[in-house]
Structure 1
Amino acid sequence: MARGRPGLTGALVTAAVPLGFLAVFFVWPVLAIIRLGGGGGVAAVLSSSDTWRVVEFTVGQAAAATAVAVLTGLPVAFLLARTALRGHTLVRAVVMVPFVLPTVVVGLAFRSLLGGGALPIILANAFFNVAVVARTVAALWSHVDRRAEDAARSLGAGRARTFFSVTFPALRPAVFSSAAVVFLFCATSFGVVLLLGGGEYSTLETEIYLRTVQLFDLPGAAALSLLQVTSVIAVLVIGAVLRRRSTTLNLRVDTARRPRGGEWFVVAAAYAVVIALLVPIISLVAKSSFNGFKALAGTGFRGSLQITGWDAALNSVKAATYATLLALALGVVACVALVTLSRTRARPSLVESIDTALMLPLGVSAVTVGFGYLITLDKLPGDLRTSPMLVPLAQALVVTPLVIRTLLPVLRSIDSRLRQAAATLGASPWRVWREVDIPLASRSFIAATAFAYAVALGEFGATSFLARPDSATLPVVIGRLVSRPGELNNQMAYAACALLMLVTTAIVIAVDRLGTVGEF
């Protein structure tokens, strides 16, 4: 007991760092918007049948898209984690590209392929988020000991029974972590619903945007934001309950092998998913042209962009770099605090409350946060509203929860006997982390880094609200071009999409090559 208290105190102090960031750059701006909106129209909005129809569609399409993303992401996770085949780096890059594309662009691609409606919305949202499931689950799956599976097979269990009885329970923390993140991303999808809904379908996110930007109905937007936050908390609590499972990892990382027998069907399904992901991507690239690239490279095309496409790409990389570094620092600190709290006498409810709080930015409208920044951050020293760090701060707020959800399942699943053995041999707590936890979590850290970069590069909602015209990122430039009439503007938009995909692919491959010593 005497040794547990300092550990508990230190973990709480450590947790105060990401929680403090959350309080200043999330809670404060959101509460400011709610106070500015007042309470006059809240009751009317919440009692409206139209509001609950929007809620029903928001939850329904998000649940359906999550199911599709999980079912298609698991075969890809198996391919990345358990097979020794060539081309894994390329597969990871292809899977990540949809994740970085601005929602308005993907909406246009799916509208040209499938038209509008509920089904295209579901498929487009799933298209975005296959990477979340594939890479989060693969990061844990690559460490799950094969011996339990081999034992089940030797006792006569078929492959399906072995998977559902042995493998899936071990993967459950990562599966439900990724599913919760995917659900929140789909529930707050903006550009896809705006373009494919056709005025017939809308979500809480599009309604908040409409009331804030077009109707200036701040009380209504505040009421919907409160409803959105409540829904997010409910999802996170359910996800926390479903993730309650202890999975044992080992230090062996050579779990990949050449597929055998029926495993080839899973590999074939994984490659089918990759090919399906390529269809909208190829469609976007095919719509780009030399004239589009040429016009995009011209300085201040007709004075409308105030920036070239290449400068926008550089701005994207700079902002994403700062956002990723900040998110990784905050995410790692948060994971260390949560894992340490779990290993002390801290109440599970305290740990889950901190975990849930850190996830909240995933499910709150980027419009609400961006608008909140503009009315609050001038009160901080230096007036961050004019700082070049404003966009990275907003992006880091969105990215940090994803870093936590990628790293935390692996860190929580490390066999405590390994840590106890290291401590028995005289290793300090820091050395235990360095020799046991860090090697096991290194691949998840690389996955988190790639995710963070991809999300930051493609972030559109808050960035479009905060970026100045001369410091716009590629997604912002694409959004501006798409909204303007004219064939050349369309060509420039698709050329910017191709450039964004090229930058994303190059960065994801570089991160994977830099941080891996083998496939995962």
Structure 2
Amino acid sequence: MTRGRLGALLVAVVPTAFIVVLFAWPVGALIRRAVSESDAGVVELLRRTHAADLLGFTLYQAAASTVLSILVAVPIVWLIARVRIPGSMLLMVVVTVPFVLPTVVVGVAFRALLGGPLAFLGIDSGLWPILLAHAFLNVAVVARIVGAAWRSLDPRLAEAARTLGAGRARAFAGVVVPRLMPAIGAAAALVFLFCSTSFGVIIILGNGEIRTLETEIYTQAIGYFRIPEAVALSMLQIVVVVAALLVTRVVSDPGAADGARPTETRFTPHRWQWLPVTAALVWTLAVLVGPIAVLALRSVRPSADGAWTLDGYRSLTDSVNGVTPLQTLRYSLTTAALAMVIALVVGLLAAVSMYRSRGVWSVAGNVVATIPLGISAVTLGFGYLLVLANLPAQVAASPLVIPSVQALIAIPIVVRIAVPALASIPDRLRQAAATLGAGPLRVFLTVDLPMIGRSLGAAGGFAFVMALGEFGATSFLARADTTTLPVLIGSALNRPGAENLATAMAASMLLVAVTTLAVLAVELVRPRTGALL
């Protein structure tokens, strides 16, 4: 075996081992437990849980959420792709923050919004709040992917169509939209994936009336402790996730862009042009800032007819099971930082391996690396409990357990940012370094890493905020001294009393503030082109 092949093998071994240990092992442990406890086949288990109905509704609400997300994002995509205005960086922060907010915070925000200023709509729980919350969460996916694709299009094509007599609308519909379809399809597939595995939003806003595959997995596993039924539903969900990932891969046509570095196609608004720009800005603020503003209001006035108070924020220093919310935040920041480092190392190695792979191996690597992003957090959480119960106490109580679990969710984001960054490096630079005697490792350290440094900084920022907000799997592993802030918020919401609600609201605003600062840092370091995913 040559040195190059040995190096490529070693690069692939680390991410493969990480995914096997953190993903395949707990899922396998659940499957073995289910097989040992049940004599029924998978078909019978699915029939008992009414899986066909659950699958149908899960796909329906995910599809409806996807369509709504795209419709809501249209004015925002136009702003990002076509308009040059002061404060564009802040606009990207506003667009991105909802995507990386913990779902439990989003659920709290929409409960406050629909139960407060929008109470007259009478939709404080049920399907519509879930669809609206999903659109709020996923606007960033559509805006970044489609917006980046639009800005990369060669403007001369639309100009040529207009020269031949086509009006603005016809040139846009006939030239621009077809070339944006791969990006729209890729964004839609990812949004569908996220919505089909949504948990926190549905639990908080569904009010027990909405049942999807994810919530039923939780009910079967936690409510009834029917492990075989929960595992059967989890396997069905994995099929949905893999199918969505394959669709994403198919519709993401790398050749859809024009290939050359895009010229500046945005315009600076003048006179009447400020009318549509202002309308789009107002829409953006209403859709993306409105729910957070209501949450901030409710954090100092927990009930609509109650008094103004800072008790929620004062309670952040009060001990809950021996730990204050502020201490929980400190622990959350520490674990998120560790998770970021793990995700960067493992994700970069996976990205290098995938970039060097070709054909079916590249597709398989992409799907395997992305599956943890859409897999059931409940499935993983139960799997971890089973695995850790059979390990030595020193290993089960290791401070690296929770950061590693959080890193598993963040690795797909690192891979999706790092692979295009590696592909953008001109091969002639690597060849020049190799000609001067540099080996593969030195070429990577002296050529690749410096050129993708800003992309890795952005990837690390996104990994940090995603780890900070992880709720599902972490909730299974948290103890009194290892509780993260999203888990504390979830537990506070489940306890009665205005004091607990005020604490949940104040802690949610604390997470919003930290997340916003992290996203602002990402915007400062990220390359000026490219998409989030």
TM-score of the superposed pair, with normalisation by structure 1 = 0.85
- Which segment is superposed worse, 309-318 or 389-398? 309-318
Q: For residue 341 of structure 1, what is the aligned residue in structure 2?
A: 357
User: In the alignment, which of 290, 310, 315 is matched to residue 295 of structure 1?
Assistant: 315
Give SS of 1:47's match: helix
Name the CA distance, whole Å, in 1 between partners of 2:84 and 2:215. Answer: 44
Q: CA deviation at 1:488?
A: 0.9
Equivalent residue pairs, number: 505
**Quick check: 1:144–1:250 contact (8 Å CA) kept in 2?**
no
Q: For residue 405 of structure 2, what is the aligned residue in structure 1?
A: 394
Q: For residue 18 of structure 1, what is the aligned residue in structure 2?
A: 15
Name the CA distance, whole Å, in 2 between partners of 1:517 and 1:277. Answer: 22
Is 1:219 the counterpart of 2:219 in the alignment?
no
Residue 509 of structure 1 aligns with an amino acid whose one-letter code is: L
Name the CA distance, whole Å, in 2 between partners of 1:440 and 1:145. Answer: 25
Cα distance change on mapping 1:311 and 1:159 into 2, 3 Å: farther
**Quick check: 1:100–1:459 contact (8 Å CA) kept in 2?**
no
Give SS of 1:388's match: coil
Q: CA deviation at 1:53?
A: 0.9
Cα distance change on mapping 1:518 and 1:245 into 2, 3 Å: closer
Q: CA deviation at 1:11?
A: 4.6
Deviations 1:408-462 (A, max 9, x none): 45655x4x9x535874795877798789977886665454334323222211111
Cα distance change on mapping 1:6 and 1:170 into 2, 3 Å: farther
Q: For residue 479 of structure 1, what is the aligned residue in structure 2?
A: 490
Q: For residue 88 of structure 1, what is the aligned residue in structure 2?
A: 88
Is 1:404 the counterpart of 2:420 in the alignment?
no
Name the CA distance, whole Å, in 1 between partners of 2:13 and 2:181. Answer: 28
Cα distance change on mapping 1:75 and 1:447 into 2, 3 Å: farther
Q: CA deviation at 1:215?
A: 0.5
Is 1:369 the counterpart of 2:380 in the alignment?
yes
**Correspondence list, 1:294-443, <5 A:** 294-298=314-318, 300=319, 304-342=320-358, 348-377=359-388, 383-408=394-419, 414=424, 418-420=426-428, 423=431
Q: CA deviation at 1:240?
A: 1.4
Q: CA deviation at 1:386?
A: 0.7
Cα distance change on mapping 1:293 and 1:268 into 2, 3 Å: same
Is 1:497 the counterpart of 2:524 in the alignment?
no
User: In the alignment, which of 470, 473, 476 is matched to residue 465 of structure 1?
Assistant: 476
**Quick check: 1:93–1:505 contact (8 Å CA) kept in 2?**
yes
**Quick check: 1:84–1:519 contact (8 Å CA) kept in 2?**
no
Q: For residue 290 of structure 2, what is the aligned residue in structure 1?
A: 279
**Quick check: 2:186–2:252 contact (8 Å CA) kept in 1?**
yes
Residue 487 of structure 1 aligns with an amino acid whose one-letter code is: A
Q: For residue 345 of structure 1, what is the aligned residue in structure 2?
A: none
**Quick check: 2:457–2:526 contact (8 Å CA) kept in 1?**
yes
Deviations 1:154-211 (A, max 9, x none): 4555445555555556655654444333222211111221233233321111001111
Name the CA distance, whole Å, in 2 between partners of 1:103 and 1:32. Answer: 27
Name the CA distance, whole Å, in 2 between partners of 1:286 and 1:226. Answer: 42
Q: For residue 124 of structure 1, what is the aligned residue in structure 2?
A: 133
Q: CA deviation at 1:274?
A: 3.5
Q: For residue 35 of structure 1, what is the aligned residue in structure 2?
A: 32
Residue 293 of structure 1 aligns with an amino acid whose one-letter code is: Y
Name the CA distance, whole Å, in 2 between partners of 1:264 and 1:236. Answer: 39
Give SS of 2:33's match: helix
Residue 258 of structure 1 aligns with an amino acid whose one-letter code is: T
Name the CA distance, whole Å, in 2 between partners of 1:440 and 1:156. Answer: 43
Q: For residue 306 of structure 2, what is the aligned residue in structure 1?
A: none
**Correspondence list, 1:169-248, <5 A:** 174-246=183-255, 247-248=257-258
Name the CA distance, whole Å, in 2 between partners of 1:167 and 1:329. Answer: 38
Name the CA distance, whole Å, in 2 between partners of 1:333 and 1:151. Answer: 44
Q: CA deviation at 1:64?
A: 1.6
Q: CA deviation at 1:273?
A: 2.9
Residue 23 of structure 2 aligns with an amino acid whose one-letter code is: F
Is 1:115 the counterpart of 2:124 in the alignment?
yes
Name the CA distance, whole Å, in 2 between partners of 1:332 and 1:174. Answer: 24
Structure 1 residue runs without a partner (length 5+): 343-347
Is 1:135 the counterpart of 2:144 in the alignment?
yes
Residue 401 of structure 2 aligns with an amino acid whose one-letter code is: L
Percent of residue pairs identical: 42
Residue 231 of structure 2 aligns with an amino acid whose one-letter code is: A
Cα distance change on mapping 1:355 and 1:516 into 2, 3 Å: closer
Cα distance change on mapping 1:269 and 1:11 into 2, 3 Å: farther
Name the CA distance, whole Å, in 1 between partners of 2:176 and 2:6. Answer: 36
- Which segment is superposed worse, 208-217 or 39-48? 39-48
Q: CA deviation at 1:339?
A: 2.1
Name the CA distance, whole Å, in 2 between partners of 1:491 and 1:390. Answer: 31
Deviations 1:68-100 (A, max 9, x none): 223333543443455332222322222233234
Q: CA deviation at 1:287?
A: 0.7
Give SS of 1:40's match: coil
